Structure 1
Amino acid sequence: MKVRTLDDLPMDYAETQYNLGNVYSTLAEVKDKAENCEKAVQAYQEALSIYTKEEFSEIYRIIGENIKKCL
């Protein structure tokens, strides 16, 4: 198993966190909405530590929309 860390592979880490946010967001639609939305938002926020608005405006916008759906 490959471990993607923020220090070693920041872009891969951000992508993994984004995907994890998507998984939790989808899961929230069918089970434990509050808990899974909280986990989704945490993962999305972690992805935004790499996906800055200035450098990645499109994915930054998408993540922002996804966070709003969970709130």
Structure 2
Amino acid sequence: MRLVFPMLACAALAMTAGCSAEPDFDTRFEQRSQELAAEARKIEAESSAQLAAAREAENAAAEAAGERSTTQAAAR
């Protein structure tokens, strides 16, 4: 019987020590918020790069179409 009480005390101490190791809600929220903000910046950078590439391709196509029309008109 004397061993039961120290074992229960050790178990209770171990449980409370384990709980304090986990970050609280505010800490987890802030960490997740920072992760999401970083992911959003990455997505914005990728979409900006894709948009710039699409505009560049569109401008190149328009210039090529313009050169073709002037070349065809000169050939007539």
TM-score of the superposition, structure 2-length normalised? 0.31
TM-score of the superposition, structure 1-length normalised? 0.33
Larger radius of gyration between Structure 1 and Structure 2:
2
Structure with more of its chain in helix, by fraction = 2
